[in-house]
Structure 1
Amino acid sequence: MTEDKYSTPVKPVEIHLQTQEKCLEVSFEDGKVFKLPAEYLRVESPSAEVQGHGVGPKKLIAGRKFVGIMNIEPIGNYAIKIIFDDMHDSGLYSWRYLYQLGEEYEMRWEQYLADLKADGKCREP
């Protein structure tokens, strides 16, 4: 059986938008709970705008320190769509991708900060 980018062995049991903290808390059926900051979700968006079109490199998104999440919408039984207050709303966050973002948070965040610094950009708008 081949797995696609939307399948995952672990599904979320609860997704809670914490508006004041500007984060999404996702609890998975294996007991893991991830608090994913809106800024992190925005700069790691699975959209083509961020990930690149085809074989192009991932785009470095700067100036999103204060971004918030306006809404989340379920997409079938496999993903959510996140609507950010900077009006970015493309890209589907599959259960697999949300889990991966949670597991790899520290490594991805450190790399993002290093990339910003190397490119002379910052988190502030």
Structure 2
Amino acid sequence: MTQETFATDAHGTRHWPTEVRLKRAEGVLVISFDDGARATLPAEYLRVESPSAEVQGHSPDQKQTVPGKRAVAITALEPVGNYGVRLIFDDGHDTGIFSWKYLYELGLDYDERWARYLAELEAKGLNRDTAPHRHGPSCGSGGGGCG
């Protein structure tokens, strides 16, 4: 086995956090890793890139473009085992478990992912400020929990 194999867990974690800080006033999650990497991740970005099946689907072609989340806030962080955190958002979304590996990737790929998200919004006629009103059994009644 290589040293890298020993440095990972079942979730593929290679870089472990040394500090995780929710800065509510700024609306960001700041996370530092043991290799010196540091990411400042806006709540909106984390919400629209949530690892939940609701956002990611069950395959890459099912990924949802989630509009209307510019003002979303993270209200709480809950540790999940030793491999990540659950983020609780003020729009009721709380099903995504963000692994340390995924948070590291979100920091590393921020510019590319954010540009792709903005392009998808524009291509679909959506925006960051308002979500289209949807009706249907998957949305429930009110609460803004869709997407």
Name 1:17's counterpart in structure 2: 22
Could you report, residue by residue, the CA deviation over 1:6-44 in whole angstroms, capped at 9, with x for unpaired residues? 221110010000001111000000111100000000000
- Between 1 and 2, higher relative CO (CA 8 Å, sep ≥ 6) is seen in 1
Residue from 94, 107, 113 that aligns with 2:112: 107
CA distance in 1, matches of 2:98, 2:66: 17
Residue from 36, 44, 59 that aligns with 2:41: 36
Name 1:95's counterpart in structure 2: 100
Letter in 2 for 1:91: G
Q: Counterparts in 2 of 1:3-82, with a 5 A limit?
A: 6-54=11-59, 56-82=61-87
Quick check: which has more Rg, 1 or 2? 2
User: SS at 2:11's partner residue?
Assistant: coil
Could you report, residue by residue, the CA deviation over 1:50-101 in whole angstroms, capped at 9, with x for unpaired residues? 0013565201100000000000000011010000000100011000000000
User: SS at 2:78's partner residue?
Assistant: strand
Q: CA deviation at 1:120?
A: 0.2
CA spacing shift, 1:12–1:20, aligned 2, 3 Å: same
CA distance in 2, matches of 1:62, 1:15: 26
Confirm or deny: 8 A CA contact 1:5 1:94 kept in the other structure: no
TM-score (norm 2): 0.80
Provide the aligned length of Structure 1 versus Structure 2: 125
Identity score, percent: 51
CA distance in 2, matches of 1:64, 1:21: 15
Confirm or deny: 8 A CA contact 1:7 1:78 kept in the other structure: no
After TM superposition, where is structure 1 displaced by more than 6 Å over at least 4 residues in a row?
A: 1-5
Unaligned runs of 5+ in 1: none
CA spacing shift, 1:118–1:55, aligned 2, 3 Å: closer
Unaligned runs of 5+ in 2: 131-147
CA distance in 1, matches of 2:60, 2:43: 26
User: SS at 1:107's partner residue?
Assistant: helix
